[in-house]
Amino acid sequence: MWEIFSCGTEPELPKSAFSNRESSLGQLLKAEFCPTVVYIAITLCWTRDSWSRPSFHDLKEFLNCAIEIHQLEKGTNKVIYLYLRSLNIPCF
């Protein structure tokens, strides 16, 4: 996913990744065109323990939810989005 939002550019590790590799785990910086919610999903995939990483099903659900939120935030349904968010529905 990172490669999609970075438009195929070469990955750039944060400078701290070289000085303190254990704390940063060498994670890539957020790509310029990557929405924060998608970057969060990407970083979950980099969890050291493979059993703690999201499944493809989990990622699909997470990203579908992110798309719905984006469409409601940016579209004509902003009032509906704000109402649903006020109800504390998990996706919003």
| pLDDT tens, residue by residue, 61-77 | 888 888 887 777 777 56
Structure tokens at 9: 């550019």
Higher per-residue confidence, 86 vs 64: 64
Tell whether the model's pLDDT for residue 38 goes beyond 50: yes
pTM above threshold 0.75: no
Closest by alpha carbon to 90, among 67, 65, 60? Answer: 65
**Spatial distance between the Cα atoms of 45 and 2, rounded to a whole number of angstroms:** 11
